[in-house]
Amino acid sequence: MCFSVVGYFEKPALEPDPGVCHAWDMPKRIRKHREPDVNQLAHYSIQRMVDAAETPKPVLVPPEVHRVMAEMGRRGGAIGGKRRAANMTEAQRSNSAAAAANARWAKVRVQPGL
């Protein structure tokens, strides 16, 4: 439906306004989704199978590699703590030790047999 504006009010226009080049609403386009071509479907399904075949499967870590990596982590952790302590001042070391002691004593301990 078309509206013509008179002042601040709108009223329905029964006939097109000569000053407006598009007096009526444009019809809505109806889009129909076409079925994909058989060749397109075949290409899509083959492409999915090829991609699935090319995807590498995760390799499980053998126990020997796991053991070596754990050892390397232990060494690095020990070196890291010594280096950190060497770079700290006496007051910083004292504060760090006090925070660690407080964290240890703050844990709730369950005594067996109670």
Q: Is the pLDDT of residue 14 over 60?
A: no
Q: What is the tens place of the pLDDT at every residue in 82-113?
A: 888 889 999 999 999 999 999 988 887 777 76
For the residues 18-23, what does the mean pLDDT come to? 58
Q: What does each C-alpha distance from 74 to 3, 40, 51, 55, 97 come to in angstroms? A: 80, 56, 40, 34, 21
Q: What is the tens place of the pLDDT at every residue in 21-38?
A: 555 677 777 777 777 788
The DSSP code for 2 is -
- Residue 102 pLDDT: 92
What value does the mean pLDDT of the chain take? 77
Question: Is the distance from CB of 6 to CB of 19 less than 8 angstroms?
Answer: no
What's the predicted TM-score (pTM) here?
A: 0.32
- Element counts in the chain: helices (H) and strands (E): 3, 2
Alpha carbons 12 and 62: distance in angstroms, whole number: 80
For the residues 44-54, what does the mean pLDDT come to? 86
Q: What are phi and psi of 12, to 5 degrees?
A: -65, 135
- Residue 92 pLDDT: 94
Kindly calculate the radius of gyration of the chain based on its CA atoms and give it in whole angstroms. Answer: 39
- Residue 15 pLDDT: 57
Helix (H) or strand (E) holding 6: strand 3-6
